[in-house]
C-alpha cells in the first residue's frame, strides 16, 4: 500500500481515483477545484480530501493529476499552493492530463530539481474506460520511475507502456487522436452515404464490420450515430483542444496533417451547431445538417 494523491475529479479522474482506493488498496487523498466533489468522493470511497493540491500531495509516494489543459496543469503543480510545493523527495508525479509535450518536459525538469520523478501518462478509453478500469496509458519519462509507478497505474488500466523519454506519452496520445479523427470522419461519411443510397445501415454494417473496415468506432458508435445521439463519450470541445495540440506540434516538427486539420475544422462547424458537449461521433451531424439547408 502506498500513499497516493489524485488531483482533478472530472468524468475521468473521479473513477480513476476510486480504483486506486478499491482495487489498489492505497491510502488516497483527493483534491478538486470544487471541494464538494472531493468531499463526495471521500465519503463514497472512504478516502480523504484536501483543500489544496499542495495539501493533497504532502507526504505522498505518488501524485496523480487529470485536469483540463496546460494552464490548468501548471496551476495545480507549480502555481500557488500547487502540488510541487508539497512533494517529498523520491515521490513520483504522474500526469494523466492530455497536454502538450512541452509542458510535460517543463514539469519533468521542475520535478527533477526537487528530487522527484515525473511521468506524462495521458490515457485513452474515454469515460467508459475510466469507469471500468480498463484505460490505455501511454507514458513518457525515466524507466526507473516508470517501473515504480506502473503497479499503481495498473489499478485503472488494461495497458500501461513506456513510450520513451519525457514527452513521449503526450506525443503518443497525439498519434491516438490523429487516428481517431480520421476514422470518425470516414465512418460518418460511410453511414451518411449508405442512408442517402437507401441502404439498410444495419445490414451494411453487419457486412463490413468483419473485414478491413472494422474499427472501435464502428463497433461502438455506428448505431448511435445513425440515430443522431451524441452523448456517449469524449466531448467535441475536448477533441478540438487535443487536435489543436496535434496541429501545433506538427507545425513545430514539420509533420503534415492535412486530414487532421480538415477534421478539426469540421468539429468547429459542429461547435457552431451547438454541439460543444456532443461526443466526437457527432461529425455525422454536420453532414446531415447540410442536407436540411
Contact 83, 77 (CB under 8 A): yes
d(CA 136, CA 130): 10
Burial class for 80, CB neighbours closer than 10 Å (0-12, 13-18, 19+): exposed
Task: Say how far apart CA 73 and CA 40 lie, in whole Å.
Answer: 23
Active site residue 88: no
> For residue 188, what are the contacts with CB-CB under 8 A and spacing of at least 6?
225, 281, 283, 284, 287
Distance in angstroms (rounded) separating the CA atoms of residues 128 and 91: 29
Per the residue annotation, which of 88, 173, 195, 241 is the catalytic one?
173
How far, in Å, CA of 199 to CA of 203, rounded?
8
Largest CA distance in the chain: 65
Q: How many other β-carbons are positioned within 10 Å of the β-carbon of residue 242? A: 24
Closest CA to 98 of 217, 235, 241, 233: 241
Active site residues: 173
Amino acid at each position: 500500500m502506498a500513499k497516493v494523491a489524485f488531483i482533478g475529479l472530472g468524468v475521468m479522474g473521479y473513477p480513476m481515483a476510486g480504483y486506486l482506493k478499491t482495487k489498489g488498496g492505497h491510502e488516497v487523498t483527493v483534491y478538486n477545484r470544487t471541494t464538494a466533489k472531493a468531499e463526495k468522493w471521500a465519503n463514497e470511497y472512504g478516502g480523504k480530501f484536501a483543500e489544496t493540491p499542495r495539501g493533497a500531495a504532502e507526504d505522498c509516494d505518488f501524485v496523480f493529476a487529470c485536469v483540463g489543459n496546460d494552464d490548468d496543469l501548471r496551476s495545480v503543480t507549480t502555481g500557488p499552493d500547487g502540488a510541487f510545493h508539497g512533494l517529498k523527495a523520491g515521490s513520483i508525479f504522474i500526469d494523466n492530463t492530455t497536454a502538450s509535450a512541452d509542458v510535460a518536459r517543463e514539469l519533468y525538469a521542475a520535478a527533477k530539481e526537487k528530487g522527484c520523478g515525473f511521468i506524462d501518462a495521458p490515457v485513452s478509453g474515454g469515460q467508459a474506460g475510466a469507469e471500468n478500469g480498463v484505460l490505455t496509458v501511454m507514458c513518457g519519462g525515466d524507466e526507473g520511475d516508470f517501473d515504480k509507478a506502473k503497479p499503481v497505474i495498473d489499478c485503472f488500466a488494461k495497458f500501461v507502456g513506456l513510450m520513451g523519454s519525457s514527452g513521449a506519452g503526450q506525443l503518443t496520445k497525439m498519434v491516438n487522436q490523429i487516428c481517431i479523427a480520421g476514422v470518425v470522419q470516414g465512418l460518418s461519411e460511410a453511414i451518411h452515404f449508405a442512408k442517402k443510397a437507401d441502404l439498410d445501415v444495419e445490414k451494411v454494417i453487419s457486412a463490413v464490420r468483419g473485414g478491413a473496415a472494422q474499427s472501435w468506432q464502428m463497433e461502438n458508435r455506428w448505431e448511435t450515430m445513425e440515430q443522431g445521439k451524441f452523448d456517449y463519450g469524449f466531448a467535441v470541445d475536448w477533441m478540438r483542444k487535443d487536435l489543436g495540440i496535434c496541429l501545433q506540434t506538427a507545425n513545430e516538427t514539420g509533420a503534415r496533417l492535412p486530414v487532421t486539420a480538415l477534421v478539426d475544422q469540421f468539429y468547429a462547424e459542429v461547435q457552431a451547431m451547438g454541439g460543444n458537449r456532443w461526443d466526437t461521433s457527432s461529425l455525422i451531424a454536420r453532414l446531415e445538417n447540410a442536407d436540411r439547408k
